[in-house]
């Protein structure tokens, strides 16, 4: 599946109303740990889309939220190994 840039304007449609699990990466260009995990995930930029970040209480980046049926079902905070990302995502695909 091709990554989609999610913004404040399309968050409800792309994430909350999705019929598939969705991984959202809250990141910023100035964040070192964000750059470390960037090759493993595609993301939205918290500097440009602050409404969604505030709505979900994002206080540290990178923060990855996994949504399923419009609800947050899991999260990862900080730079985590690719193996951890794959395990968390795979857990929610069924």
Could you tell me where the beta strands, DSSP code E, fall in the chain?
22-27, 44-45, 63-68, 71-77
Nearest to 70 by CA among 25, 20, 26: 20
Q: What is the CATH number of the domain that holds 37?
A: 3.40.30.10
For the cut 70, the answer to whether the pLDDT of residue 29 exceeds it is yes
Q: What is the pLDDT of residues 30-84, one digit of tens each?
A: 988 888 877 665 444 656 678 888 899 988 988 999 999 999 999 999 999 989 9
Which residues carry out catalysis? Answer: 31, 34
**CB–CB of 24/17 below 8 Å?**
no
Domain total for the chain? 1
Residue 68 pLDDT: 93
Domain limits for position 74: 11-91
Residue 32, domain member (yes or no): yes
What is the pTM for the complete model shown? 0.69
Give backbone dihedrals phi and psi of 44, rounded to 5 degrees, phi first.
Answer: -115, 155
Residue 56, domain member (yes or no): yes
Residue 5, domain member (yes or no): no
Strands in 44-45's sheet, in edge-to-edge order, are 44-45, 22-27, 63-68, 71-77
Local confidence band at 4 (pLDDT 50, 70, 90 cut-offs): confident
Distance CA(38)–CA(13), nearest Å, equals: 24
Residue 6, domain member (yes or no): no
């Amino acid at each position: 599946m091709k990554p989609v840039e999610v913004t404040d304007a399309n968050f409800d449609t792309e994430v909350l109303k999705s019929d598939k699990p969705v991984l959202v990466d809250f990141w910023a260009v100035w964040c070192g740990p964000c750059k470390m995990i960037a090759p493993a995930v595609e993301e939205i930029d918290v500097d440009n889309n602050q409404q969604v970040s505030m709505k979900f209480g994002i206080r540290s980046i990178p923060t990855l939220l996994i949504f399923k049926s419009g609800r947050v079902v899991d999260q990862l905070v900080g730079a985590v190994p690719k193996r951890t990302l794959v395990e968390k995502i795979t857990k929610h695909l069924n």
